[in-house]
Amino acid sequence: MIKTILVGLDGSEHAQTARDYGLWLGRRLEARVVGLHVVDIVSIEGSFFHDISGSLGFEPYLDFSSKMREVLHERGKNILDDFAAVAGAAGARFDTQLAMGVVANEIAEAAKTADLVVIGHRGVNEKFSTGLLGSTAESVTRKSPKPVFVSTTAFRECANPLLAYDGSQRAAAAMQSAADFCTTLQLPLSVVTVNRDDKAGRKTLAEAEAYLRSYAIKTTFELQQTGNAPERIANFIRERQYDLLFIGAYGHSRIIEMVLGSTTEYVLRNASCPVFLNR
């Protein structure tokens, strides 16, 4: 059961949506929601500021770095105060944490004492990022020891979830999370598998059906036999207007993914709904 939800906050629009999802989940699951802001050490000690120190001298750099640290700490406190005000008004149980370090690393470290991490699809520096998924979000999904909920830009309550199941161990973990989630929130669950081999695909669906039979939830199952898996899943979400996807985390080594790509990464970049990612 999910009893502690960690929400990454950086003041961006995406983080505000992550906050809304975290608080919504907290109320529905009767969980404590922890708002975490990380003062990014890279912003203070990045190469750009080291270049400045070389031209201005060491002492001016130290003074500038100290002032930068104070400004970012104050900004972080303001972000957490805003979170506390919204959480309090929503009647949620909450805490706040202010940390300093590499953002993704600090979120992953804090996740050790949480059951679920909720983060925005992009962060405060999205205008300077490449691709459709923020670098911090991607790093957190790879490093977090706990499931990660990646939110979209706009919040809407989840009522029509989908599980992408391929028979792997990671997909089985996602299926358990989906079953527990839907049982607690009294939601139906759709299951899709993508496999051009009819026999193998139906065998995979039969496994999911046998497992989910023990849960008191309404289930539907569908085999998709056209297109490659990541594209078909992303399109299937849009076609059927699902509002939450459960999926297993990265299934290959980092080297293989760099060459062949990753189903998980593609879906995270292209899904039109939040993604609940399980290891």
Q: Give the model's pLDDT for residue 262.
A: 73
Q: Give the model's pLDDT for residue 257.
A: 43
Q: Give the model's pLDDT for residue 108.
A: 96
Same domain (yes/no): 183, 269: yes
Tell me if 156 is assigned to some domain: no
Query: What's the pTM value of the predicted model, to 2 decimals?
Result: 0.87
Q: Which of 151, 181, 205 is the C-terminal boundary of a domain? A: 151
Q: Which of 151, 172, 191 is the C-terminal boundary of a domain? A: 151
Instruction: Give the mean pLDDT of 121-141.
Output: 62
Among the ranges 11-15, 248-252, 261-265, which has the highest mean pLDDT value? 11-15
Same domain (yes/no): 75, 139: yes
Q: Give the model's pLDDT for residue 249.
A: 80
Q: Which of 123, 151, 179 is the C-terminal boundary of a domain? A: 151
pLDDT in tens, 152-165: 989 999 999 999 99
Instruction: Give the mean pLDDT of 208-231.
Output: 95
Tell me if 225 is assigned to some domain: yes
Instruction: Give the mean pLDDT of 139-143.
Output: 89
Same domain (yes/no): 135, 241: no
Instruction: Give the mean pLDDT of 176-181.
Output: 97
Same domain (yes/no): 186, 262: yes
Q: How confident is the model at residue 17 (pLDDT cuts 50, 70, 90)?
A: very high
Same domain (yes/no): 170, 51: no
Q: How far apart are CA 219 and CA 201, in angstroms?
A: 17
Contact 86, 23 (CB under 8 A): yes
Tell me if 216 is assigned to some domain: yes
Range of the domain at 98: 4-151
Q: What secondary structure does DSSP assign to 233-274, as a single string? A: HHHHHHHHT-SEEEEE---S-HHHHHHH--HHHHHHHH-SS-
Residue 143 has pLDDT above 60, yes or no: yes
Which residues, 6+ apart, have CB-to-CB distance to 249 below 8 Å? 141, 142, 170, 264, 277, 278, 279
Same domain (yes/no): 197, 135: no
Q: How far apart are CA 138 and CA 199, in angstroms?
A: 34
- Tell which wins on pLDDT, 228 or 95: 95
pLDDT in tens, 38-77: 998 877 665 444 444 444 454 555 555 788 888 899 999 9
Q: Give the model's pLDDT for residue 114.
A: 98
pLDDT in tens, 179-213: 999 999 999 999 999 999 999 999 999 999 999 99
Q: Give the model's pLDDT for residue 176.
A: 97
Same domain (yes/no): 167, 269: yes
Same domain (yes/no): 144, 172: no
Q: How confident is the model at residue 254 (pLDDT cuts 50, 70, 90)?
A: very low
113 DSSP assignment: G
Q: Read off the tokens for 147.
A: 């499931």
Residue 85 has pLDDT above 70, yes or no: yes
Instruction: Give the mean pLDDT of 115-137.
Output: 66
Q: How many domains does the chain have?
A: 2
Q: What are phi and psi of 5, to 5 degrees?
A: -115, 125
Contact 208, 168 (CB under 8 A): no
CA 205 to chain centre: 26
Same domain (yes/no): 172, 129: no
For residue 241, what is the domain's CATH number? 3.40.50.620
Contact 104, 136 (CB under 8 A): yes
Q: Give the model's pLDDT for residue 52.
A: 47
Same domain (yes/no): 98, 19: yes
Residue 252 has pLDDT above 50, yes or no: no
